[in-house]
Amino acid sequence: MRFITPVGVGSLVRARGELLKAETLAAGGVQALWRTTVEIDGVERPACVAESVTRHHF
């Protein structure tokens, strides 16, 4: 996780999620790598970029 730009009080923010990678697990599930980018309205650089791993078992 990287905090790139501070968010001012009253700023409008939005988050965008991207699925970077998905792979099948031997145990019968899926592992996914996600990138979430938090943007500030009217600011060129993002406020935060985070990558996370999730596992889904069926």
Question: What's the domain count of the chain?
Answer: 1
Q: What is the pLDDT of residue 47?
A: 95
In a domain, 47, yes or no: yes
In a domain, 4, yes or no: no
Q: What is the pLDDT of residue 2?
A: 82
In a domain, 7, yes or no: no
In a domain, 24, yes or no: yes
Q: What is the pLDDT of residue 49?
A: 95
pLDDT in tens, the chain (58 residues): 889 999 999 999 999 999 999 999 988 999 999 999 999 999 999 999 999 999 999 8
In a domain, 1, yes or no: no
Give the residue numbers spanning the domain of 31: 12-57
In a domain, 48, yes or no: yes
Whole-prediction pTM:
0.81
Decide the pairing of beta strands 48-57 and 29-40: antiparallel
Count the neighbouring beta carbons within 10 Å of the beta carbon of residue 18: 10
In a domain, 23, yes or no: yes
